[in-house]
Chain A
Amino acid sequence: MRMANSALEANETFMYQVERVKKKNRKLSFIKGMLFLLPSLILFSVFLFYPMLKTIYLSFFLTDAKGATTVFVGWDNYKEIFTDSVFLKGMKNTFLFVFYTVPLTVIISLFLTVIANEKLKGIGVFRTIFSSTMGVSVAAASVFWLYLFNPTMGLLNKFLELLGAESIGWLTDPDWALFAVSVTTIWMNIGFTFLILLGGLQSIDSSLYESADIEGSSYFYKLRRITIPMLSPTLFFVITVSIINAFQTFGQIDILTQGGPANETNLIVYSIYREAFVNYQFGSASAQAIVLFIFILLMTALQFKLGERRVHYQ
C-alpha cells in the first residue's frame, strides 16, 4: 500500500514536471514564432500602424509647416473639407473616375482574355503584348499619352483633323480632361487585369468545355454558362483591386494635368498631396486621408466578405 502510494506520488511529481516542460516548450515556440514575424511586425508598426494612428490624430489639429501640431480643432478639419467646394469636387471627380475606368478596364481586359485564350499559333506573342502595359510605369505611360493628347502635334487631334472634325483640348478642356486621364489609366491597367484574368481562365477545368462540346453548345453559350461564372471569383478580385487602385491614383494626374483644369482632375490622393506638401495644411490633409482610408477600408472589407459568399467558387 505504501509502495503504491509513493509510486503514485512519484508519478504526480513527474506529471508536474512534464507540465512545466510543456509550458516551457510553448513559451519557446511562441518566441520562435515571434522571431520569424518580428521584422515584419516592427516595420508594420513603424511605417503603417503608427502613421495611420498619427494621421487620425493630426486630422484633429492645425499644424505648422513642419507638421507639428499647434491648435486642437476637433472636428473642424472634417467640417471644413466637407464644406470646401474644391474637396467635394475632388470627391465627385474620384467617383466619376472610378466609374469611367473600372468597368471599361475590366470589360476590355475580359475581351482580350477571351480572344487570347484560344489555342492558336502565335498566341503567346499576343498574350505578351496584352500584358505588356503592366511593365510600363505610370510616369512613362503619362508621357506617352501627354504626347498623344497634345493639342497641336498629338496623334489624336491629327486624326480628328483628318476626319475633318474640330480638335479637342484633351487635357485643357474641363469637359474632356477627366476622360483623357481615364483613358490613360485604362490603358495602363489593362496589362495587370489581363494577366490575372488569363490566369483565372486557364485554371478552369477543361473537361467542362469538353463536355459542353459533346453536347454541341455554341461558342457564346459556353462563354455565358461556363467561362463567366467560373471566372467570377477572379473578376470580383480584379474589380475590387481596380476600384482600390482608382482611389489611389496619383502619378498620371501629376504629370498630365496637375489637377487642372479648374480642379476637374483633382482626385483625392492628388488633393491630399497638394494640401500637405504644397500648402502645408497637414491637419486638413490628414482629414482627407482619413476619408480615403475609410473608402478603401470599406472596399477591402467588401472584398473579404462578399468574395467568399456571393461569388461562385468551384
Chain B
Amino acid sequence: MMLSAGKKAIFYVLLIISAFLIAGPALMAIVMSFMTNQDILTGSLPTTISLDNYFAAFTRFPLLQYFLNSFIVSIVIMLGQLILSALAAYAFVFLEFKGRDFLFYLFIATMMVPFEASVIPNFHIIRDLGWIDRYSGLTVPFFATAFGTFLLRQNFKQIPKELREASQIEGIGDFKFFLKVILPVSRTSLVTYGIYSFLTSWNMYLWPLLVTTNDTVRTVQIGLKQLQTQEQLNDWGVIMAGAVIIILPTLILLFLGQKKLQKGLTEGALK
C-alpha cells in the first residue's frame, strides 16, 4: 500500500509518541541506574553518570548468585520442556495407537488447570520430597506443558509423512527417526519455543518465592524483591540498577527472536 507524505507523517507521529510511552518506564529505569542518589532525590536531570549503583547492587547483594541461579533454572526448564513436549508431539503426530485421542484430550484438559489453583499441594509435594531450596524443586514441576506440545505438534504436522515412511522402509526405528530427522528438521520451531520457554521461566515469580528460603537457589526476580524491600531509605539508583540487570537477558533474547516468536506463537495459538 502506498502512503502519501501526509499520512506517513501522521503514522510517524503516532509511532513515536507510542514508542516513547511504552519504552518510558524502562528508559527511566536505565537512566536512573546511572544517576547519583542526590540527583534522583532532587528530581533533577543527571548531572554525573556513574556505574556506582551497579557496583553497589553486586557488592551489597548476592546478585551474581541470583543471576547464576536464574540461568540454571531457566535453562533446565527450557531443556525439560523442549524434550518432553517434542517427545509428546511426536507421538501425537506420527504414531498411531489405541487411546491416542483420549490422551490428547487429557493434554488439552491440563490447560484448564491453572498452576495457582494447585499450588498448595504442589508446595507440599516439593517440601515432602525435600526439594525446597533445590534446583529440582524450581524446575521439575514445569517440564510437562500442553502449550509446548501443541506448538511443536503444529510444526511436526507440516513435516511430510513420507519422510517417516521412507525411514520405515529403510528400517529406521521411531526413536532414531525422531532424533536424526525430526529434531534437526524442526530446529527453527524448537528454537522459537526454547526462547519463549526461557523468557517465561526467567520471569517466574510466585513459585520461586514459595520454594526458596535462602540465597542458594534464589532467582533474580525474588532477589529484586529483596533488594527493593531491604534497601534502606529509597536508594532507587541501586534498585533500578538491579532491575535493569535482570531484564537485560530477556530483552536481548526478545530482540533476537522477536520475528520467530511472533510467527511461532501465532501459529501455535490459532491452529
Contacts and interface: CB of A to CB of B under 8 A. Distances in A.
Interface of A: 26, 29-30, 32-34, 36-37, 39-44, 46-52, 54-55, 58, 67, 111-112, 115-116, 118-120, 123, 125-141, 143-148, 150, 153, 155, 158, 187, 190, 195-196, 198-200, 202-203, 209, 213, 219, 233-234, 237, 241, 244, 247-248, 250-251, 254-255, 269, 272-273, 276-277, 282, 285-286, 289-290, 292-293, 296-297, 300-301, 304
B75 interface: no
Contact of A58 (B32, B103, B120): B120
Contacts of B125: 46-47, 50-51
A132 B224 contact: no
A146 to B, nearest CB: 7
- Interface residues of chain B: helix, strand, loop or mixed (majority): helix
Given A52-B118, A136-B251, A199-B266, A40 B22 contact: no
A148 B8 CA distance: 33
B270 A132 contact: no
Contact of A51 (B98, B118, B251): B118
Given A39-B87, A47-B144, A199-B267, 4 more contacts: A26-B98, A44-B107, A120-B12, A143-B242
A47 B23 contact: no
Given A37-B88, A39-B84, A196 B266 contact: yes
A32 B174 contact: yes
Interface string B9-45: 0011011001100110110110010000000110100
Q: Top 10 A-B pairs ranked by shortest CB distance?
A: A199-B266, A36-B91, A51-B118, A51-B121, A43-B144, A54-B121, A137-B203, A33-B97, A135-B254, A251-B205
Interface in B97-147: 97-100, 103, 106-108, 110-125, 140-144
A195 B114 contact: no
Nearest to A38: B87
Contacts, number: 294
B3 to A, nearest CB: 7
Contact of A250 (B112, B116, B124, B240): B116
Interface string B197-215: 0010011011001100000
A67 B128 CA distance: 11
A153 B236 contact: yes
Contact of A129 (B14, B19, B225, B228): B19
A67 B120 contact: yes
B95 interface: yes
B149 interface: yes
B113 A39 contact: no
Interface of B: 1, 3, 7-8, 11-12, 14-15, 18-19, 22-23, 25-26, 28-29, 32, 40-41, 43, 83-85, 87-88, 90-91, 95-100, 103, 106-108, 110-125, 140-144, 149, 174, 178, 199, 202-203, 205-206, 209-210, 220-222, 224-225, 228, 234, 236, 239-240, 242-243, 246-247, 250-251, 253-255, 258, 261-263, 265-267, 269-270
Nearest to B96: A29
Contact of B225 (A139, A273, A304): A139
